[in-house]
Amino acid sequence: MPALWIAHVTVTDAEAYGKYAELAGPAIAKHGGSFIARGGKFVQLEGKERPRNVVAKFPSVEEAVACYNSPEYQEALSHAKGASERELMVVETSE
């Protein structure tokens, strides 16, 4: 079953986070992920609002988690740590 990688982000250091974004995209694509939403307009109905919201679709939960744990993504993530406040989850879709 396909899965969605959903991130809610507040960027605190735009330069460092830019390096994360530069590296994360190829790592996500390498694991079959494709972006559905990156940044656009949103309406916060409940919970903590984060100004940046990203959704990527993967072939499976397992592939999304493998991406997260991959050396390529972990290298990207090293630039996001300390440069952002984030929540990230993977959710299996019903497709």
76-85 pLDDT, tens per residue?
Answer: 999 999 999 9
DSSP bridge partners of 9: 52, 86
Total-model pTM: 0.90
DSSP bridge partners of 91: 4
Judge: domain 3-92, CATH 3.60.15.10.
no
Q: What confidence category does residue 95 fall into, taking pLDDT thresholds of 50, 70 and 90?
A: confident
Where do the structural domains in the chain lie, given as residue ranges?
Answer: 3-92
d(CA 55, CA 64): 12
Q: Which residue is listed with tokens 């630039």?
A: 79
Per-residue pLDDT of 52-70, as tens digits, reads 999 999 999 999 999 999 9
